[in-house]
Amino acid sequence: MSTPTLAQSSFKEQQLKFERVRTAYDQKWDILKKELSKENINGAFNMYITAYKSEGKLEIWLKNKPQKKYKLFKTYNFSAHSGTLGPKVKQGDLQTPEGFYNINVFNPKSNYYLSLGINYPNNVDLLRSGRENPGNDIYIHGDQVTIGCIPLTDEKIKEVYLLAVEARSNGQEHIPVHIFPFKMTEANLRKYTIQYPKQIAFWKNLQPGYTYFEKHNTLPSIDQEKGSYLIKK
């Protein structure tokens, strides 16, 4: 049986067997290391990803392993949009999900250059979809097209993918990805629920997760029960 250290290092080694990952390291890693050092992110770090559909922004938050609080490292623009505000309900609805997820797939041979899959659908999504097929295969990926994923262009996904590989290879088994319809301030909630009144209950269920992180820069504990998220502060 391999030790955890060997198992972790072998993840990066496995990824480096793929040409696109090697190319990304050759092109981006030295620059990223300098940027990490400038932010005092040294050695092993944890990663948190949050995305805002209305703003079309994906944020990368990092923290050194011993630290509790995350700091914003980079913000990327979506390269394309799909669907409207509101959660994904069924296959083919072109919606980008909204909710609390983790990265569960690293795809170094994606049709969209490199891609990071999230664990959609979760139990909240499944209950919302009822008898409908909720769909799957939701990724953060390269290129500039989407039918419900989050695209960032090939150049930007190289950076995000490498940061995720580094976090995973240094022991972060679960990299959280929180996808919100918008920055969930009270003003924005009032504004958007006028346009999308059917989403009021769901968005109010998401909001405490957003608010907790905004206040503390640490992640709340999030459970799922009876089709809703339970945010433990």
Peptide bond into 4 cis (omega under 30): no
DSSP state of 66: T
For the chain, helix (H) and strand (E) counts, in that order, are 7, 10
Identify whether the C-beta of residue 104 lies closer than 8 Å to the C-beta of residue 118. yes
Please report the pLDDT score of residue 9 as a whole number: 58
Per the DSSP assignment, residues forming a β-bridge with 103 are 118
Residue 77 lies in a domain: yes
pTM to 2 decimals? 0.94
> Mean pLDDT by 10-residue block, N- to C-terminus, for the chain (233 residues)?
50 96 98 97 95 98 95 97 96 97 97 98 96 95 95 98 97 97 98 97 98 97 95 84
Please report the pLDDT score of residue 8 as a whole number: 53
Phi-psi region of 4 (alpha: psi -120 to 50; beta: other; left: phi over 0): alpha
Of the candidates 141, 174, 178, 216, the residue annotated as catalytic is 141
Instruction: Please indicate whether residue 178 is annotated as part of the active site.
Output: no
Per the DSSP assignment, residues forming a β-bridge with 223 are 230
Residue 69 lies in a domain: yes
Segment (H or E) for 102: strand 99-110
Parent domain of 167:
4-182
Residue 118 lies in a domain: yes
Of the candidates 149, 174, 178, 216, the residue annotated as catalytic is 149
Please report the pLDDT score of residue 22 as a whole number: 98
Residue 197 lies in a domain: no
Distance CA 212, CA 232 (A): 9
Instruction: Please indicate whether residue 174 is annotated as part of the active site.
Output: no
Residue 210 lies in a domain: no
In 3-state terms, what secondary structure has residue 186?
helix
**Number of compact structural domains in the chain:** 1
